[in-house]
Structure formats: structure tokens, C-alpha cells
DNA sequence: TTGGATGCAAAGCCTTTGCATACCT
DNA sequence: AGGTATGCAAAGGCTTTGCATCCAA
């Protein structure tokens, strides 16, 4: 994790941004909750545990910055707010998707490589150059189907 | 299209809703703009052309109703508002996805059947029963890549 | 000291809701 | 008549912005 933080610091510095204490806390919260898909306010509440006087706007601004730098991703699960997850668009992460339970809202991580075959097709048929993709699968999770 | 309208009317009536003039206009706007992914406000403006005194709330309420009945779908392309498209979840529609140009925002319809193989896998690995899915592919469209 | 970073409060946007009125059966 | 549908305005919820202050290089 320290490696990720210092790499982030370099990435920011390269663009004349600073990895300030507040920004680092924000990033750490996301790293420590990789599978939780926190909303901005949830991130804010966790950052506040270590920096009680942090402002909500600061967290929003940090999240936007990280997103622009490609350190984190915003996802919309349809509940009216953005949710964030750490994730660089590298190979290991390319096939990371989500199962969304429409009954309880649970989000389950899921990996599948479905894109290789598609990428060449959309290039050929639409001359569209894919940079990233999102697959969301809606349905009923095992907990809810038992009830 | 008239067939779709009358089927919608029946579907509503079965649940004690009425396909009023306003609701029908709203549905027609969506049918006539199937590939446009209109926002609520855009739908509202189009409905207003025929019913100048329609209220925005009425359109919102109609959209919500149609969505609950499964006549239309709401999609989020990341621009801060919901967009709507007509589409029953039938077989012909199951493989309908979107290419989203991150430069100009253009949305391109795209069909691919990637789900059959996946469905059994998520059932086996996660005991998750899929009901629907969304695939969004981000990248650069042919218009923008030329520039 | 100088420009970015931050906190606070206000403003913005999209969407939903309350309520009185209008409509249809 | 009775309940649904509607318009209008207000309220809500999430996010962004303005501005004065703070901070670090």
C-alpha cells in the first residue's frame, strides 16, 4: 500500500499537484475499502475519523482529482450517488466487474474476460477505439434467493 | 408503433393505471426517439410541443411508471442525469449495449451476445441469478479519432 | 511570498413530493 | 362521487463553486 501511495504522490507531483495529508487520507480510505464501493459521504466520514475538521468539499475535490488521474473510478449503481473504487486500468483490473443484487443492493465483485473478442469487433464494425468498459449484471444474490 | 401503444395501454390497465394523453405522448416521444437516449427534460420539451401546459413532474412520473412496468429503461452515461430508452427486456433486446465516446459524448448502439457463457458461470460461482445486465464501452468514436 | 489547498456556506442541478385542482369513469 | 392524474411550487439530495484563509515550497 505504501508503494501505491508513493506512486500516487509522484503522479500528482508530475502535474504540479501535491499529495497533501487530506488527499492521502482520502486515498488510504479508498485503498483500505477496496471492495466497499464507498460514496463520497462515506469516504468523508471515514476521513473525518482521522481529521475531524476536514471539509466535505475537500473530499469531493480529492475524489475528482484522483479520478482524473486515473487512480480511482466512479461507478453508478443506480442509487443516486456516485461510488468510488480504487483501480488503475491495468491488465489485472481489466476484467473486474460487478454483480448487483436488485433486492438487497449487495455488490459482488466478479471477474470475466469478455472483451478481447469484442474489442476487435467494435473496431472493425464501428471504428471505435475502446479505452475501458463497464459490465453490470443485475439479479438476485444467493442470500436473497434463499428467502 | 400503434401496437406498442395499445399493448402499453393494456399493461397499464391491468394494474389500474390509465394511459392518459400525457402518458401516451411521453411514450410516443420515447418511441420516436429510440436511439437518442433522451433525458427527462428533453422528453419534457418534446412533449410540450404537443401539450404546451404539461408539467415537468408529470413527465417524471410517467417515466418512472413506464420504467416500473418494464416498458422503458433508465441508463446513466455519467453526465449527471438519467437517460431513457424504450426497450422491453425480450430476447431481441438482450444483447443491446452502448459505445460511449469520451470525447464528444456520442452514444452508439452495439449488439453482442456475451452473456450466455457468463450466466452459467455466475450461477455456479456465486449462486447469483441474473435478470439483466448492462455493458458500457468507453473510448473514442470514429469521428473523434480522425481529428 | 505565492500559488495551490482547504473549510464553510451558498448555490446548482436533477429529481421528488405536497397539495389543491382537474379529469375520467 | 371517488379515485387517479396533473400542474405548480417547494423541498430534497448530491455535488459544485465562491471566497477568504491557510499552508507549504
Shared-domain flag, residues B80 and B9: yes
Same domain assignment for residues A14 and A58: yes
Which residue would you say has higher pLDDT here, B137 or A62?
A: A62
Task: For residue B147, tell me if it sits in a domain.
Answer: no
Both B62 and B101 in a single domain?
no
What 3-state DSSP class applies to B70? coil
- Strand blocks (E) in B10-128: 38-39, 72-76, 82-86, 96-101, 107-111
The whole-number average pLDDT for the span B21-27 is 96
Specify whether the CB–CB gap between B105 and B67 falls below 8 A: no
CB proximity B20–strand D (7 Å threshold): yes
Minimal CA separation from A50 to chain B, in Å: 31
Q: How many CB pairs under 8 A join A and B?
A: 100
| A138 CA, D9 C1': Å apart | 37
pLDDT of residue A91: 64
Residue B5 phi, psi dihedral angles, 5° rounding: -60, -45
A126 interaction partners in chain B (CB closer than 8 Å): 99, 108, 110, 141-142
- What distance in Å separates the CA atoms of residue B37 and residue A76, rounded to the nearest whole number? 17
Residue A39 has pLDDT above 90, yes or no: yes
Cα separation, A86 vs A37, in Å, equals 9
Q: Nearest nt to A56, CA vs C1'?
A: C7
Give the pLDDT of residue A112: 82
Specify whether the CB–CB gap between B78 and B34 falls below 8 A: no
Confidence band for A18, pLDDT divided at 50, 70 and 90: very high
pTM: 0.85
Q: What value does the mean pLDDT of chain B take?
A: 89
Specify whether B73 is located in the same domain as B104. no
Residues A61 and A123 grouped into a single domain: no
Encode B33-70: b = buried (16+ Cβ within 10 Å), e = exposed. beebbbbbebbbebbeeeeeebeeebbbebbebbeeee
Identify the pLDDT of residue B92: 65
Residues B68 and B134 in one domain: no
Q: Chain B contact for A133, CB < 8 A?
A: yes
Residues A58 and A117 in one domain: no
Last residue within a domain, chosen from A45, A64, A86:
A86
User: Per-residue pLDDT averaged across B118-140, rounded?
Assistant: 87
**% of chain A exceeding 90 in pLDDT:** 53
B23 and B62 housed in the same domain: yes
Q: Smallest Cβ distance to B130: which of A114, A121, A137?
A: A137
For residues A80 and A117, membership in a common domain is answered with: no
- Number of domains, chain A: 2
pLDDT of residue A88: 73
CA–CA separation, B11 and A95 (whole Å): 39
pLDDT of B147 over the 60 cut: no
In chain B, % of residues over pLDDT 90: 50
* For range A127-140, the mean pLDDT: 87
pLDDT digits (tens, 9 = 90+) for B64-114: 999 999 999 999 988 899 999 998 766 667 778 889 888 777 888 888 877
**Of B70, B86, B102, which one is at a domain's C-terminal end?**
B86
Say how far B57 CA is from D11 C1', in Å. Answer: 14
Print the domain residue range for B72: 2-86
Taking contacts as CB-CB distances below 8 angstroms, the residues of chain A near B111 are none
- Is there a single domain that holds both residue B126 and residue B59? no
According to the model, what pLDDT value does residue A139 have? 87
Q: Do B23 and B66 lie in a common domain? A: yes
The enclosing domain of A39 has a CATH number of 1.10.10.10
Q: Report chain A's mean pLDDT, rounded to a whole number.
A: 89
CATH number of the domain bearing residue B128: 3.30.1490.190
For the stretch A60-106, pLDDT in tens is: 999 999 999 999 999 998 889 999 999 876 666 778 888 988 878 78
Chain B residue nearest residue A115, CA to CA:
B114
Q: What is the pLDDT of residues B34-51, one digit of tens each?
A: 889 999 999 999 999 999
Q: Is the CB of B63 under 7 A from strand D?
A: no
B118 touches chain A (CB under 8 A): yes
Do the Cβ atoms of A100 and B102 come closer than 8 Å?
Answer: no
Residues A66 and A10 in one domain: yes
For residue B62, the model assigns a pLDDT of 97
Amino acid at each position: 500500500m505504501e508503494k501505491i501511495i508513493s506512486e500516487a504522490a509522484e503522479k500528482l507531483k508530475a502535474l504540479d499537484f501535491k499529495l497533501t495529508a487530506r488527499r492521502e487520507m482520502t486515498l488510504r480510505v479508498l485503498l483500505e475499502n477496496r471492495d466497499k464501493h464507498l460514496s463520497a459521504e462515506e469516504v468523508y466520514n471515514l476521513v473525518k475519523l482521522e481529521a475531524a475538521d476536514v471539509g466535505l468539499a475537500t473530499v469531493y475535490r480529492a475524489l475528482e482529482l484522483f479520478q482524473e488521474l486515473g487512480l480511482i473510478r466512479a461507478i453508478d449503481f443506480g442509487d443516486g450517488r456516485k461510488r468510488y473504487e480504487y483501480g488503475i486500468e491495468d491488465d489485472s483490473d481489466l476484467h473486474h466487474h460487478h454483480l448487483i443484487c436488485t433486492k438487497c443492493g449487495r455488490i459482488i465483485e466478479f471477474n470475466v474476460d469478455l472483451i478481447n473478442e469484442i474489442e476487435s469487433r467494435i473496431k472493425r464494425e464501428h471504428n471505435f477505439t475502446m479505452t475501458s468498459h463497464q459490465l453490470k449484471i443485475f439479479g438476485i444474490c444467493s442470500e436473497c434467493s434463499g428467502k
